Amino acid sequence: MKADEYVQPHADAELDTSGLSCPLPLLKTKLELNGMPGGAVLKVTVTDPGSQRDFRSFARLSGNPLLHESTVQGIYCYWLQKKPEC
């Protein structure tokens, strides 16, 4: 593997919210995470540029870690891990 290549985190499920504007990508993400077991990873694809701030805040406030994020040609991808269930 070359130094500039990055292996994307494993995702147990994927959610494509392309074309949706705030707050819909975040709402759909929250609903999807609610149905997943603790520790599972959700990859979310978004085209709303405001999503960077939203997803970072959501991860911090909800306790669902943001494992990785990437941006390529106006497409934002986020890998969120569902917090462990109590």
Kindly list the domain boundaries of the chain, sorted by start residue. Answer: 13-81
Active-site residue flag, 22:
yes
Q: What residue ranges of the chain have pLDDT lower than 70? A: 1-6, 86
- Which pLDDT belongs to residue 6? 62
**The pLDDT of residue 3:** 44
pLDDT digits (tens, 9 = 90+) for 12-28: 999 999 999 989 999 99
pLDDT of residue 60: 96
Question: Of residues 13, 22, 36, 66, which has the active-site annotation?
Answer: 22
String of DSSP letters for the chain: --TT--PPPP-SEEEE-TTPPTTHHHHHHHHHHHTSPTT-EEEEEE--TTHHHHHHHHHHHH---EEEEEEETTEEEEEEEPPPP-
Please state the pTM of the whole predicted model: 0.89
Q: What is the mean pLDDT of the chain?
A: 91
Q: Hey, what CATH class is 13-81 in? A: alpha beta
- Antiparallel, parallel or unpaired: β 41-46 and 66-72: unpaired
- In sequence order, the 6+-apart residues with CB closer than 8 A to the CB of 65 are 59, 80, 81, 83
pLDDT at 18: 97
